[in-house]
Amino acid sequence: MKSTVKFIVFFIVSAILVAADQITKIAAAHFLKGKDPFVIIPGVLEFRYLENRGMAWGMMQGAGIFFIILTCAILTAVIFFMVRLPYKKRFYPLIAFAAQLFAGGIGNLIDRVGLKYVRDFIYVKAINFPIFNVADVCVTCAISLLVILIIFVYREKDYEQLKSGKEKS
């Protein structure tokens, strides 16, 4: 039963985030494509439509098949991790972060498979940061918060539990 709850939470959170990603990408394409950027905070933040056929910072343009294979491998690893993750309060953040990572991967995979590019639209002009989307935010936040947990929260006994996939008191 506990495992079922873990996966229900995982898939509900993932579905909500994928829906948010896809809805915002559809809106960006509809309202921004072929138009001037929509300025949110002058000189700081704007929405600007971009069709990205590469990865972050536009690197590896045209390597779509590679990204599809890599994303599928990462999504498989996330599911494998979820199967082995004990359903304990201590590991609840890992369920949330795994759902974020999964949703981000699915969101951009939908674009890569269906459109052959990823729709990006959020631009932080103040630091000239590359244009990104909600799926990218999900992946970046999940990985960043996971690193923080690994460094500051989880200890050796937690890693042993994760490795064994069994709950210990």
> Which sequence spans correspond to the domains of the chain?
2-164
In angstroms, the Cα distances linking 81 to 2, 29, 85, 100, 146 are 16, 34, 6, 13, 13
Q: What local confidence, expressed as pLDDT, does residue 163 receive? A: 72
136 is catalytic: yes
111 is catalytic: no
Q: What local confidence, expressed as pLDDT, does residue 169 receive? A: 45
Helix axes 64-84, 92-115, angle to 10 degrees: 160
Q: What local confidence, expressed as pLDDT, does residue 159 receive? A: 75
Which residue stretches of the chain have pLDDT < 70?
1, 56-59, 165-169
Catalytic residue among 21, 36, 111, 136: 136
